[in-house]
Structure 1
Amino acid sequence: MISVFLVEDEFIVREGIKNMNWEAYGLSFVGEASDGELAFPLIKKKHPDIVITDICMPFMDGLELSRLVKKELPQTKILILSGHEEFEYAKDAIQIGVEEYLLKPINSDELLQVVRRAADKITEERQAGRRDREDEAGEKERREHAKSLFFSNLIEGRLSMAELLEKARSIGIELAASYYQIMLVKIGRSTFDSYSAAVNEMNDKLQNYISSKSEHMVCFDREPEGEIILFMEESKEKMEEDAKDLADFLENMLSEKPEIGYFGSVGSPVSRIREISQAYETAAHAFAYRFLVEGNQILRFEQIDRKPVLMERADGEYHVGKINFGGLDKTRIKAFLRGGDSEEIPIFVEEYLENAGDACQNSLIFRQYIVMDMYVAASHFLEQLGDSEEFSRKEPFESPVQMEQVLQQLDTTISYVISLFREVMEIRDRHTKEHNSDIVELAKKYIDKNYIDEDLSLNTVAAEVNVSPNHLSAIFSQKTGHTFIRYLTDVRMNKAKELLKCTTMRSSEISEKVGYKDPHYFSHLFKKNQGCTPTQYREGGAKG
């Protein structure tokens, strides 16, 4: 309902306007004041859609109030009541952006006619804004899907150079540059893609920052890595500067929300488009360390210590050496099994064992302790997942022969743990696919029940099924072959076709029944999707 606020110093006039039957015309009278000084804080609090104000009032006149309101609430429509016909007053009102300049005396019917005209304009603007937002949301989802497919082609080398350049231009990316670099960024401490308004807000701010630098960097939204940023510059120095600026932006943005956290990685720079896959591989390698090092940092590939572990000897015998129990953090194993990628397993296992100290290299007993620790962690993880029955691997030391095979050298121990984790992740991924299918089905059921709600969106459905909007968009496309917006529109159009064929409801009534308050926008969408107007469809002008 459109809300109205009145500012008038004459008590009799104020009471007369206040007591008009506003609700009968779909309007809500939300407040009054006798002058601009009293009115302004009330208007800021109530955010009325329409302000009716006199010009000549004590303390603060109507023109000064109008200036303040337009600055604070630019969408609010202002109607001025004045007993002055002087052109200067009207001129000032026009410059301020006042909607109507009305001369006193004015009767209630005339005033209502003007207010309803302003209300109709507000409704039209809101519907136009909604149309723009829906069109933008649909286009954004399609664009992000196309970008994700393009990035897969880019790093997997499936297209020729000419095809790559053409595909890039079709989604607004100019790939030509002297140097390239990749940064991976994951915002949020949770390895689950659960819904978080705060994380969504931070991701939006990050994407907006990157969009403002679109000439030299592009953001790709990918699961499960998070955001992938491709830097493109004419010099390594400028590219380093871009990466540092982005890292600083992340640190400053998230310093106000320490509970969220983030982790990022930067790969090695390359000078050819074909080498971008190598830049991605080095960034992904560094990104795997998010389970091994502290969060809230951007780790560069060059910072990783890749020196081989040296085996120490004392008098021809291996000695245990130092044990770093601080490096044996079981929560890191659990976090990795939950959120890591199968390609990251060798990196994680080797670094985890190296972090345990040189005892892992030198002591068979210590390796036995480590293997059992990891086996128990893996079993416990699958129990929590509810899939422990699928875990076919038996305990690693059921026989001396088996123990010797697993523990004889550090390399054989590493191989065993890698194969153990691979089996666990295969089970996890099967569970995830089933879970994703369940999520999509829940989302579809929620859409089917709530399509009449004009505010239904990717964000609201994601919150309902408790996943991030980006994750829902990705799995929705995978499972249905359509974007979320496309599916929602199809549901609404199919229901509209049913109502057109099976009821005598007017098109404007059907529009509201399927989630579109603006019948003009509904007709536009219907014709765009069905090739005919709702009336033509009802008359048999197109096949359902």
Structure 2
Amino acid sequence: MLKEGLLFEEDIILTWMRDRFLRNLVSDERCTKSDLIDSLSRLKLNPYYTFPALALIEPTAHFEDEHEKTIFLEQMRDFLHKQLSDGSVVFLDEEGRAALLFSWVSKDLLVTLQHKLNEQLNGPVNIGVGKPCSQLYDIYHSYRQAAKALQYKFYRGTGQIIHYSELGRYESLQQYPADKEKELFNAFKAAESSAEIEESVNVFFEWLLQKGPIDTQSVYDLTVRLLVGMEKKALVETENISPYEHFDVMTIVKLETLEEIKDYVIRFLIGLKEVLSHNQKESHRSIIKKTIHHMEQECQYASLQSVARKVYMTPTYLSLLFKMNTGKTFIEHLTDIRINKAKDMLKRTHFKNYEVAEKVGYQDPRYFSQIFKKKVGLSPSEYRESIGK
């Protein structure tokens, strides 16, 4: 009688031999029908399938290293093996996926296995299913189809059972849509909320895929080019931009679905928008500071038109910007500056009232007196008398 440890060791060896044989089978290492049946029998595997097919099962979990992933896959294989009772077999392929060889008449089993795996692993699995073959030694066709079906998770999302027979052909992207990038950038600049940026990104990708899905590599390439273009446009329009998190090409190519790519683009643009808004506010503060400086230094001759020229802005835009940032109109603030200077002159000099009026920008002494009394509550003469008391 064999010891338990030896039995366990033999089970490990048998599993390893099965995996190796089945990997060779799906890699198109052709063998005769009789050799195939004999090999399967010696490995204690079912040699007879009714329209054999192959499904690839891929976990969506992320692993710290290859060792952790290998242990996880072996546990998943062992769990699946215990669920099978119809002659189907599970093995691990070279790409780190569990491969299920089964008879097409048992295809409904896939839904049951998916539910059980989701419960066992506390997370969804992706399943790609190839078409059935007439002969077992043609199973490599079904294996390749299953692999292609699995790739379609890029569009379908994770946690799906995707059959190769459901796939349509990929459309080709003839040229980069520079005009659509420009439209997205304009929408990005005009956006007043994260929701508006998200909507603009979705519109861009909806247009991109309006004729159907395009090959995934083109989507990755286009996404990188899109982010480069958006970033360049933003930098051109902004001086002295604050530090911000640049997009990472390696992060993008590791994203597995279109939704993940769109989410990445949206997050990047939202972050870029926040940086640009901050820099724009800082730029506006600098412009208003320069504007007020010119108003104070040249209040006798200052006008909206003359100051706008000095800060390189149109009078209309400067007027709007000034009101937004100070709460006052340009004229209101200029009047305050003039009256404060007039008060100082009335307090410290012996200039006549009309001379004070001229020096702060008022050619009409009576108009100056009216404005002064409205702001201070006293006429220029009354104010000077009150100071002298």
| TM-score, reference length from structure 2 | 0.51
**Matches of 1:389 and 1:434 in 2, distance apart?**
10
8 Å Cα contact 1:337/1:381 also seen in 2 = no
Find the partner of 1:392 among 234, 245, 270: 245
Aligned counterpart, 1:320: 170
Q: How many angstroms does 1:517 deviate by?
A: 0.5
| CA displacement 1:121-152 (0-9 Å, x = unmatched) | xxxxxxxxxxxxxxxxxxxxxxxxxxxxxxxx
* Residue number in structure 2 paired with 1:276: none
Read off the aligned partner of 2:244 and give its amino acid letter.
F
Match of 1:439 in 2: 287
CA contact (8 A) 1:342 1:425 kept: no
Say if 1:436 and 1:475, in contact at 8 Å, map to a contact too.
yes
2:263 is aligned with 1:423 = no
Aligned positions of 1:35-434 closer than 5 A: 315-321=165-171, 323=173, 325=175, 327-329=177-179, 330-343=181-194, 344-358=196-210, 361-384=213-236, 385-386=238-239, 390-398=243-251, 403-405=253-255, 407-409=256-258, 411-434=259-282
Deviation, 1:328, is 3.5
Structure 2 CA distance for partners of 1:459 and 1:500, relative to 1, 3 Å: same
Relative distance call for 1:442 and 1:449 in structure 2 (3 A) is same
| Alignment-mate amino acid for residue 356 of structure 1 | L
Give, as a single letter, the amino acid of the residue that structure 1 aligns with 2:215: S
SS in 2 for 1:425: helix
Give 1:531 deviation, angstroms: 0.5
Tell me by how many angstroms 1:369 deviates: 1.7
CA distance in 2, matches of 1:449, 1:432: 26
The CA deviation at 1:482 is 2.7
Structure with greater strand percent: 1
Q: CA deviation at 1:323?
A: 3.4
Which residue of structure 2 lines up, in the alignment, with residue 494 of structure 1? 340
CA shift at 1:506, angstroms? 1.0
**Corresponding position of 2:25:** none
- Amino acid of the residue matched to residue 265 of structure 2? V
In structure 2, the CA distance between the partners of 1:462 and 1:387, relative to structure 1 (3 Å rule), is closer
Match of 1:472 in 2: 318
Could you tell me how far apart the structure 2 residues matched to 1:328 and 1:357 are? 15
How much has 1:389 moved relative to structure 2?
A: 6.3
> What residue ranges of structure 2 are gaps of 5+ in the alignment?
1-154, 157-162
Cα root mean square deviation, aligned: 3.1
Structure-1 residue corresponding to 2:304:
458
Q: Structure 2 vs 1, CA of residues 450 and 494 (structure 1 numbering), >3 Å: closer, same or farther? A: same
More helix as a share of residues: 2
What's the CA shift for 1:326? 6.9
Deviations 1:271-298 (A, max 9, x none): xxxxxxxxxxxxxxxxxxxxxxxxxxxx
TM-superposed CA distance for 1:468, in Å, is 4.1
Whether contact under 8 Å (1:451, 1:514) holds in the other structure is yes
Residue 383 of structure 2 is aligned to residue 530 of structure 1 = no
Distance between the aligned counterparts of 1:526 and 1:335, measured in 2? 47
In 1, distance between residues paired with 2:379 and 2:387? 9
Cα distance between partner residues in 2 of 1:528 and 1:424: 47
Would the aligned equivalents of 2:300 and 2:358 in 1 still touch at CA under 8 Å? yes
CA spacing shift, 1:460–1:315, aligned 2, 3 Å: farther
Q: Secondary structure at the match of 2:250?
A: coil
Measure, in 2, the Cα distance between the counterparts of 1:373 and 1:458.
43
Q: Is the CA contact 1:333–1:377 (under 8 Å) kept in the aligned structure 2?
A: no
Which structure's relative contact order is higher, taking Cα pairs within 8 Å and 6+ residues apart?
2
Q: Report if the CA contact (8 A) 1:477-1:483 is conserved.
A: yes
SS in structure 2 at match of 1:490: helix
Write the distance in 2 (CA, Å) between the matches of 1:367 and 1:382: 22
What percent identity do the matched residue pairs reach?
Answer: 26
Q: CA deviation at 1:527?
A: 0.5
Deviations 1:449-487 (A, max 9, x none): 22101xx43344334323344543343234334332221
| CA distance in structure 1 between the aligned counterparts of 2:165 and 2:323, rounded to whole angstroms | 63
- For residue 329 of structure 2, what is the aligned residue in structure 1? 483
Q: Deviations over 1:169-221 (max 9, x none)?
A: xxxxxxxxxxxxxxxxxxxxxxxxxxxxxxxxxxxxxxxxxxxxxxxxxxxxx
Residue in structure 2 matched with residue 18 of structure 1 by the alignment:
none
Contact preservation (8 Å) 2:173, 2:218: no
Task: Measure the CA separation in 1 of the matches of 2:272 and 2:214.
Answer: 28
Q: What CA deviation, in whole Å up to 9, does each residue of 1:396-424 have, x standing for no partner? A: 424xxx6343x413x22221111111011
Shift of 1:354: 2.4
Aligned mates of 1:542, 1:528 — CA distance in 2: 21
* Code of the aligned partner of 2:337: V
Letter of the structure 1 residue corresponding to residue 257 of structure 2: Q
Instruction: Label 1:511 to 1:473 Cα distance change in 2 as closer, same or farther (>3 A).
Output: same
Q: Is the 8 A contact 2:227 2:247 kept in 1?
A: no
* Deviation (angstroms), 1:388: 6.0
Which whole-Å CA distance do the structure 2 matches of 1:391 and 1:352 have between them?
A: 24
**Structure 1 residues 471 and 340, CA gap change in structure 2 (3 angstroms):** farther
Q: Distance in 2 between matches of 1:377 and 1:327?
A: 11
Compared CA separation, residues 542 and 477, structure 1 to 2 (3 A): farther
- Asked if the contact 1:364/1:408 (under 8 Å) is kept, the reply is no
Q: Distance in 1 between matches of 2:227 and 2:388?
A: 63
Q: How far apart, in 2, do the equivalents of 1:465 and 1:389 lie?
A: 22
Offset at residue 338 of structure 1 (A): 4.5
Cα distance, 1:326–1:380 mapped onto 2, change above 3 Å: closer
What is the alpha-carbon distance in structure 1 between the residues aligned to residue 211 and residue 224 of structure 2?
16
